[in-house]
């Protein structure tokens, strides 16, 4: 795992174990969690981008060695907590997280991608849940897949283990944007720049609201969102945004 910047306002977190196709080992997951924490705490970072150093693979998913783990069951169960911890962290960070899928997104890595706020993929990328092909099942990521696409599509992916193209994934709601490989880096930078222009405070409040209301009944969700909108009205950034729009100038966010 390594970190980098491509713009002052963006933190690039790069899966960097190419010899093992960025398999999600305990070490890599721990490093990812630490990197997410640092990016979340950095006041200069407005957007977090998760990507890969491998030319063809974003991540091959869970480390296959873990399936043959001979440790006591209680120890293996404790180790599995890393995946839900990562998923929850990606959802709860009050900054937009983009998955820049520059290679195949497989198995547990698909869960990580779907826990991000936005997913952009190269045209050549494939996505899927091949766990069933080696006698396993994508238990942990099924909750994320079902929240991103329809039940029948989710069942198809998880029960057949087939890989789908980025274009098919976009049609299924698993990917936001698919771009030609040669245009990928520029497209990611443009997306980052667009998001970084927004109020970090309001984006954070909005992301929190989306996560909090995703599984609520409609009436409860509307009550929560009404309270969040009232809170937004108290911020200087909302007032500044309206002033800037009327004065036809870029807003100057104060994050308060």
In sequence order, the 6+-apart residues with CB closer than 8 A to the CB of 151 are none
Secondary structure (H, E, C), 140-168: HHHHHHHHHCCHHHHHHHHHHCCEEEHHH
End-to-end CA distance of the chain: 33
What whole-number distance in Å separates Cα of residue 119 and Cα of residue 17?
Answer: 21
Residue 197 annotated among the catalytic residues of the structure = no
Q: Kindly tell me the sign of the dihedral angle through the C-alpha atoms of 231, 99, 172, 170.
A: positive
> Of the residues 34, 55, 131, 168, which is catalytic?
131
Q: Are strands 126-128 and 57-59 parallel, antiparallel or unpaired?
A: unpaired
**Residues 13 and 3: beta-carbon distance below 8 Å:** yes
Q: What is the CA radius of gyration of the chain?
A: 19
DSSP code of residue 249: S
Residue 67, Cβ neighbours under 10 Å: how many? Answer: 12
Q: Kindly tell me the sign of the dihedral angle through the C-alpha atoms of 187, 191, 194, 197.
A: negative
- The residues annotated as belonging to the active site are 131
């Amino acid at each position: 795992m390594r970190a980098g910047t491509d713009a002052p306002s963006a933190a690039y977190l790069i899966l960097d174990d190419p010899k093992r196709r960025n398999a999600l080992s305990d070490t890599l997951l721990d490093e990812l969690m630490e990197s997410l924490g640092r990016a979340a705490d950095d006041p200069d970072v407005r957007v977090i981008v998760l990507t890969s150093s491998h030319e063809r693979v974003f991540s091959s998913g869970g480390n296959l060695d873990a399936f043959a783990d001979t440790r006591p069951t209680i120890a293996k169960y404790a180790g599995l907590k890393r995946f839900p911890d990562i998923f929850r962290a990606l959802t709860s960070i009050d900054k937009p997280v983009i998955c820049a899928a520059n290679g195949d997104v497989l198995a547990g890595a698909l869960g990580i991608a779907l826990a991000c706020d936005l997913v952009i993929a190269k045209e050549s990328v494939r996505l899927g849940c091949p766990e069933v092909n080696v006698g396993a099942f994508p238990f942990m990521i099924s909750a994320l897949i079902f929240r991103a696409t329809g039940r029948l599509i989710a069942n198809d992916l998880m029960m057949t283990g087939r890989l789908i193209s980025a274009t098919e994934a976009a049609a299924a709601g698993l990917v936001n944007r698919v771009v030609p490989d040669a245009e990928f880096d520029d497209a990611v930078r443009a997306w980052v720049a667009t998001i970084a222009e927004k109020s970090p405070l309001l984006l954070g409040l909005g992301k929190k609201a989306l996560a909090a209301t995703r599984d609520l009944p409609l009436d409860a969700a509307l009550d929560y969102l009404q309270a969040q909108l009232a809170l937004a009205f108290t911020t200087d950034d909302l007032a500044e945004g309206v002033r800037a729009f009327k004065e036809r100038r870029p807003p100057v966010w104060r994050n308060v």
